Amino acid sequence: MQDEPEVAVLRYGHRPGRDDRMTTHVGLTARALGADRVLFPDNASQSEETVADITDRFGGPFTVERTDELDATIREWPGRVVHLTMYGERVQDVAGEIREAHREDPILVVVGGEKVPFRVYDQADWNVGVTNQPHSEVAGLAVFLDRLFEGRELEQEWPDAERRVIPQACGKRVVDGDAE
């Protein structure tokens, strides 16, 4: 989020076709819940396109990129690395430390696909489990970001949006981005 060290999300691994929707949801969740940037594997061009399109329409600042250097991105990250995995330490035990680190340092949040090699566990500063149960990398990312930002991400504004949803008790209301 603005005025804070960067939070970027790295989607580690992607199978075109089969993973398109999950990878897209990782990207959209990163954007909606306060991350500044998402990095997809090089073969996730369709997900990149969808996330860029949503960002154009609903606003930023948010960046989506692709890279063929997943490991180098982790290795050379100029801050701290969090790897989300059901095998990791409990989020409720380590979120405080990570928040503390984020006051000074950019955070890279690594979200695995099906198989994540041991070197990712090894290079992460924290391996973090949002529960130690099998569920969804999208759900894990969402809870992690909400706890990292302690809800501040829900108050974000999207100054350059083309359209904006106005919260409604019942029904749908969408206005132009520059409507007051």
Binding site for a copy of itself (CB under 8 A): 21-22, 25, 28-29, 31-33, 54, 58, 86-93, 118, 121-122, 124, 126-127, 129-136, 138-143, 146-147, 151, 153-156, 158, 164-174
Residue 75's Cβ-side half-sphere holds a number of Cα atoms within 13 Å equal to: 5
Query: Please, what is the minimum distance in Å from the beta carbon of residue 19 to a copy of itself?
Result: 9
Query: Please, what is the minimum distance in Å from the beta carbon of residue 79 to a copy of itself?
Result: 19
Q: With respect to a copy of itself, which residue has the nearer C-beta, 44 or 130?
A: 130
Task: Give me the long-range contacts of 93-102 (CB less than 8 A, separation at least 24).
Answer: 94/126, 94/128, 95/144, 95/147, 95/148, 97/126, 98/126, 98/128, 98/148, 99/148, 99/150, 101/125, 102/4, 102/5, 102/7, 102/148
Q: With respect to a copy of itself, which residue has the nearer C-beta, 2 or 68?
A: 2
Q: With respect to a copy of itself, which residue has the nearer C-beta, 39 or 138?
A: 138
